Amino acid sequence: MKKQPRVLIVEDEPAIAELVAVNLRHNGFAPVWAEDGTAAQRELDAVLPDAILLDWMLPGQSGLALARKWRADARTKSVPILMLTARGDEPDKVQGLDAGADDYITKPFSTQELLARIRAVLRRRAPENVDDLVRIGALALDAATHRVSWQERPVKVGPTEFKLLHYLMKHPERVHTRQQLLDKVWGDHVFIEERTVDVHVKRLREALGAAGALVETVRGVGYRITAQAAPAEKAA
């Protein structure tokens, strides 16, 4: 029997939590509810979920603080987080994504949209059947072992940033629009906003350090990775 994906719902409003849980259960998921950060941490310590639905406004620690905390923890850093909130302005969305959320869902939301977004982050998390090593200058990515190195030193990147970097490195010197990157890295669904690409490119550059200069912004078009970024090659 196929394992049901476990989804941790961190939501302090019982009515919303119950509605989400019922819909998840009816669509092949195994929902678990926690009403605040303390209860959520207990659930995480017991069993690691496949995804987390995290409300922004919670008693005690906010969803934003929890997202940052779980992203900083080696055990939970790769668990997809979908932020649930009534705060729909772009600065709030960017803040949520910067805190470590993989997606951002504004209340009220439709059940079908929620399910589609959960499936999307689970697809992105699934390992790809690839077995190749790619290099751009001193930057190397081994898809089989899921490792990145710069000048023979290991570099830690998140799962989405890894997929983004892998795609860019497989197509060097080519300029990719945000929409093309969404289709190729996130999948051909309609829910992720183009601004998400900018956030993950920023995270990728920060993770790469000096090698981040290899990822260039082509103003008005999109992004590319190039071996012609001399300053990055010279970095220690």
Give pLDDT tens digits for 100-131.
Answer: 788 888 877 888 888 988 988 887 766 544 45
The sign of the CA dihedral 33, 36, 39, 41 is positive
Gyration radius of the chain's alpha carbons:
18
pLDDT tens by residue, 46-77: 989 999 999 988 888 888 899 999 988 888 88
**Cα separation, 8 vs 25, whole angstroms:** 12
Rounded-to-10 torsion of CA 177, 179, 184, 185: 100
Q: Which of 59, 52, 61 is nearest to 101 (CA)?
A: 52
**Cα separation, 170 vs 190, whole angstroms:** 24
pLDDT for residue 234 is more than 70:
no
- Prediction pTM value: 0.57
pLDDT for residue 231 is more than 60:
no
pLDDT classification of 232: cutoffs 50, 70, 90 = very low
| Sequence letter at residue 31 | P
Q: Which of 125, 81, 123 is nearest to 100 (CA)?
A: 81
Q: Is 234 exposed, middle or buried (0-12, 13-18, 19+ CB in 10 A)?
A: exposed
Reported for 20-25, long-range contacts at CB under 8 A and 24+ positions apart, including other chains, are 20/53, 20/114, 23/111, 23/114, 23/115, 24/115, 24/118
8 Å CB contact between 21 and 31: yes
For position 191, what pLDDT does the model report?
62
